[in-house]
Amino acid sequence: MPRLLWPSLILTLACIALASAADPVAITHAFLATGARTRIVEQAPGERSGRVTWDYPAASREGWVLPNGNLLLALAKSAALPGGGVVEVTRDKRVVWEYRGTQDEVNSVQKTAAGTYVLTEAGRQPRLIEVDAAGRPLVQFALQCQVGNAHMQARMARKLADGTYLVPHLLDFAVKQYDRTGAVLAVIDTTTPGDPGRKIHSWPFTAIRLADGNTLVALTNANAVAEFAPDGRRGWQLTNADVGGIIHDACGVQRLPNGNTVIASYAARGDQPRLFEVTPDKRVIWTCIPPDGGAVHHVHVFATDGVALAEPPLR
């Protein structure tokens, strides 16, 4: 299997733990951050600065730290991968599985408990495919979304426990649930209430099906994250009015086992946090700021306070 070669990129992230005197909780995360730089950052107890403990020499759309320690990465398109692609790599960066995109981009990937890989391809014929370890397609169907802008067709597709697939479609302002034939079973309309003309770009990026049946959705340029009930009604939501204006393009989101939510603000710059964690009552208790201004497209927090988080992660 050929290796993919890029110059190595290393980013040192400064991670700042925030806690009030009434709530002196030490927040210590280990996480994979994806974007123009792909790296694992760990913050040890007592530290105020994180340190890069692993990096990969390629830009990535999203990624996972797998239970076996390998990294699963959806790679951005490049000279080596003009259609984007996917790699599963060991910690010593040995490629053990690879998929080369056949259209414009590969924007998401997920490895299931059965060992299959679910990914989306953007282009003239946007599609979701699920392949086995040998690369043989088990499921494939056309995504029902606009085709005028390939980059904005779909983001973080996920196979759910019931065997259906949840896919956010940005410019369609919709999160769609598909069966394995490609039939649409349900649609969440992410249009901002009171904005029928859709001047607020509440484009869905990450959609997470929660245990109670609600769906947590990151709403990108609306600078918001919201939970939607099965009937489409909004419940809990977080906006810039709740957190002092620190949301700048909500892209990656993860719901932690303790009920807190980690959000990646992809368009944050300067001293603006790239990552932050909020409690259900909307208190910001942790932020992360890369000193060189590097953006974070998506995040996978895989350990907190030195303890590995339960599988599967909600992200």
For the chain, domain boundaries: 14-308
pLDDT for the residue 14: 41
Contact (CB, 8 A) for 40 and 12: no
pTM for the full predicted model: 0.90
Average pLDDT value over all residues in the chain: 90
* Average pLDDT estimate for 172-199: 97
Distances (CA, A) of 152 to 6, 21, 168, 173, 174: 26, 43, 10, 11, 12
Q: Write out pLDDT tens, residues 183-195.
A: 999 999 999 999 9
Q: Write out pLDDT tens, residues 83-118.
A: 999 999 999 999 999 999 999 999 999 999 999 999
Q: Write out pLDDT tens, residues 211-266.
A: 999 999 999 999 999 999 999 999 999 999 999 999 999 999 999 999 999 999 99
Backbone angles phi, psi at 58, to 5 degrees: -160, 150
Residues 6+ apart with CB under 8 A from 180: 139, 141, 163, 164, 165
Q: What share of the chain is helix, strand, coil (3-state, %, to 5)?
A: 0, 45, 55
Q: Tell me which fold the domain 14-308 belongs to.
A: Neuraminidase (2.120.10)
Distances (CA, A) of 108 to 46, 73, 161, 201: 35, 9, 18, 21
* Average pLDDT estimate for 154-180: 98
Contact (CB, 8 A) for 60 and 74: yes
